[in-house]
Structure 1
Amino acid sequence: MQRIPPAPGQESVWDYPRPPRLEPTAKHLRVVFNGVVIAETRRGQRVLETSHPPVYYFPPEDVQSQYLVPSPRRTFCEWKGQGAYYHVRVGDRQANHAAWYYPEPTPAFATLRNYLAFYAGLMDECTVDGVVALPQPGGFYGGWITPDIVGPFKGAPETWDW
């Protein structure tokens, strides 16, 4: 693994902390699925963790909950606690396990309670300040990659030992 040095105005995921840091962001975050804006906010939060692009979380009141269908999937994060999932359904299209949240996060992430994150690769478009975000490689982690973030990024199979 060779760290990519950030240019002015960029962040390196290798400068992010472990354990991860939670911070508010006023960036304009937007999620679109099947032609409908599912979530949009300027009051999001982002989780920054070594080797991962930021994961953006939306306040529940800025998410169109009528498009969320509870999923039976549960996962566990050593930092944030037990995660729960939603399918996203708009019209005749559904993206399974496409959004997740922490109903009872750990104390360090208490302000993240019920905020929702979305897998960019399962949505039609996710943007940060109008820039289309690419999904974090591998399909397991939910980071959003924009040109102001440099890696390399954890997620692809050959990176699991990082």
Structure 2
Amino acid sequence: MPPKPKLNVQNFPRPPLLERTNRHLQVKYQGHTIADTKEAYWVLETYHPPTYYLPLSSLSLPLTKTTKQTYCEYKGWATYHSLTLPSSSEVIKDRIWSYENPNKEYEAIKGYVSFYVGPWSCFVDGEEVKPQPGDFYGGWTTEELVGTIKGEGATRWL
């Protein structure tokens, strides 16, 4: 199998591009698969690894809205969620977000959620991803990415 082409994050667009991806995305925690899909969207933005949005139908556990909200100048207001693990009753809060009423250009991700990398493990086509540096950013970093990623060292203010 030929190697995947490299994706240079510095060549990603601004404003961000939203498009369908058929990559196999999984979120796993303590032996439990929380999400599994090949029907997602990714957002590509300059200096950022892709942020993936998974359909609610791909989740194996229900979500509960929390009071946290943040604002993105492109997508609008984000709503955050918690989930409770049935095996331990552990509640993980504010590590999943969605845009319930996204701005017009991003309407396709209504009904989709995105996961920060951690505390669970996230996978793209079987590769375990690394979190985008800085706890604010939700990008999933894979080996195919090259270029300077926002959140690393001196790039925090790019």
TM-score using structure 2 length: 0.91
The code of the aligned residue for 1:85 comes to Y
Superposition misfits of 4+ residues, deviation over 3 angstroms: none
Is the Cα–Cα contact under 8 Å of residues 48 and 149 in structure 2 kept in the other structure? yes
Structure 1 residue 79 corresponds to structure 2 residue 74: yes
Is the Cα–Cα contact under 8 Å of residues 121 and 139 in structure 1 kept in the other structure? no
Alignment counterpart, residue 46 of structure 2, candidates 32, 43, 50: 50
Structure 2, unaligned runs of 5 or more: none
Structure 1, unaligned runs of 5 or more: 1-6
Shift of 1:155: 1.8
Is the Cα–Cα contact under 8 Å of residues 4 and 144 in structure 2 kept in the other structure? no
Q: Percent identity?
A: 38
Residue 133 of structure 2 aligns with which residue?
137
Residue 61 of structure 1 aligns to a residue whose secondary structure is: helix
Residue 106 of structure 2 aligns to a residue whose secondary structure is: helix
Q: How does 1:1-162 map to 2 (within 5 A)?
A: 9-66=5-62, 68-90=63-85, 91-123=88-120, 125-156=121-152, 158-162=154-158
Is the Cα–Cα contact under 8 Å of residues 61 and 83 in structure 2 kept in the other structure? no
CA RMSD of aligned residues (A): 1.6
The code of the aligned residue for 2:10 comes to W
**Could you list the per-position Cα deviations for residues 54-106 of structure 1 after superposition, in whole angstroms to 9, with x for gaps in the alignment?**
0011011111242x232110011000000001123212333220100000000
Distance 2:154 2:111 in 1: 32
